[in-house]
Structure formats: structure tokens, C-alpha cells
Amino acid sequence: MCLPTVLIRSYELRPNKRSLDGHIRVSNRYNLARTWPSGLLIYQKMTDQTANTDIFQRLQAGELLRKDDPEYARFGEVVSRTIRLCVEMNATATSVDQVRNQLSTIIGNPIDESTAIFPPFYTNFGRSIRLGNNIFINHACSFLDIGGITIEDDVQIGPRVNLTSENHPLDPTDRTTLIPRPIVIRRNAWIGAGATILPGVTIGENSVVAAGAVVSRDVPPNTVVAGVPAKVVKSL
């Protein structure tokens, strides 16, 4: 299940972010205002630090995105370009080299020759994907990267894996607001076929996510997680 966020005036209400080893991780993008008895934390948005930056800098800083944002059209242009280029890549690329070259254009950074991506590959934004060296990404993976997706060296990703770095508020009146939360997959991790990694999650170094797992909390290094929601089932 996704970690929902509820917006209340100038505050953001969200569940405690715990990793699967039980430790609480607190985002450094918010000031802790108070703790509720129910175990929820309230964070006051640090809007003064992002008021004068452009929309892409604000997304990288984790600021919420609404459709009435003055720069929303710039965001929409990038999304439209990415959709077009992604469709072209999946329709025309006939080799791993062609996929690598075309995806490099989509994300705006060269992908190392040691990294291989099998088509089809899907992304909705592209420019917030960061890929290390010697990565393997199998068929039909989907990277929703508006919140940021970073994959370190030597990572293996199975077919039909979904990485989703975007969330929405529970509040029906604010449901279209986008909440960016980065995903990080540390060195030498292995993500099994059909797994889903939810917004804000970090997968620890050398860890394994079992096929079909849904990961909503940080995964400690050197562990195996499985299930829905994913839980630690083994230490390596």
C-alpha cells in the first residue's frame, strides 16, 4: 500500500517513515512541528527556500506540484516530449545499443555502455532518472520518475518492475496535486520480476526484492524482502 499524504493548510500530514528494520527515517525537507498520539508526524513545509526557484528545481526539492502552478506548462512540455520519444524508442529500437542511445536522449544524460536496457521501457518524465554503471533492466519496466529515481552501479532489475516516485493526497479536493518522493536503489541490489517500489523508498546495498513484492518502506542493506507489503524474510 502506498504511503498516503494528507495536506492540512500549511502542514503536511503523513505516516512515520519507517524502514523494514524498524528504524524511523525523517525527511530533511520538512521541519518537525509535533507528534500526534496516533503515531503520525506533522511537517511544516519549508516553502521559503523554494519560492524563487523554477519548477524543476522545486520538484527536485520535493515541493508539491499543482496544476495551477504558473510554470505547469513547462512541466507539461517535458512530459509530452518524453511520451513521444519513449513511443518512438519502443517502436524503432532493435538493439540494446539503440535503446541506450535513445534513452540517453530522453533522460538528458549519457548512459554508460556497460548498462543494458531491454525494450519496451516506459517513463513519464525521464529527466529525473539517474543510472550508474553495469546496470541491467529487463523487459517492460516502468519508471515514473518525477520525484527522482537513482539506480547505483551493478543493480539488476527484472521484467515488469514498477518504480513509482509520485504520490497524491488523500483529500478528494486536492487529489490532482502531485507529491514527488525519490526512489534510490543502492549498489548491487536485485529487484525481482513484477515488483513495485513506492515513493520515497530506498533499497539498501546488496538487498533483494522478491518477485511481486510491493515495497512501501526502506529496505535495509543485505536483506531479502518479500510479500505485500514487503517484509524482511532473510538476512544475507
User: Dihedrals φ, ψ of 37, to 5°?
Assistant: -60, -25
Residue in this structure with the C-alpha cell 527522482, named with its chain if needed: 148
CA distances from 97 to 27, 39, 104, 227 (A): 38, 49, 11, 35
Q: What is the pLDDT of residues 27-49, one digit of tens each?
A: 333 333 333 333 333 333 434 44
Q: What is the pLDDT of residues 175-209, one digit of tens each?
A: 999 999 999 999 999 999 999 999 999 999 999 99
Question: Could you confirm whether domain 54-235 is CATH 3.40.47.40?
Answer: no
Between CA 94 and CA 92 the distance in angstroms is 6
Between CA 11 and CA 145 the distance in angstroms is 24
For the chain, what are the domain ranges? 54-235
Per-residue pLDDT in tens (0 to 9) along the chain, 236 residues: 344 444 333 333 344 454 565 444 433 333 333 333 333 333 334 344 445 578 999 998 999 999 999 999 999 999 999 999 999 999 999 999 999 999 999 999 999 999 999 999 999 999 999 999 999 999 999 999 999 999 999 999 999 999 999 999 999 999 999 999 999 999 999 999 999 999 999 999 999 999 999 999 999 999 999 999 999 999 99
Query: What is the pTM for the complete model shown?
Result: 0.79
The single residue of 18, 29, 130, 168 carrying the catalytic annotation is: 168
Spell out the SS3 assignment of 131-199: ECCCCEECCCEEEECCCCEEECCCCEECCCCEEECEECECCHHHCCCEEECCEEECCCCEECCCCEECC
Residues 6+ apart with CB under 8 A from 206: 186, 187, 188, 189, 221, 222, 236
139 is catalytic: no
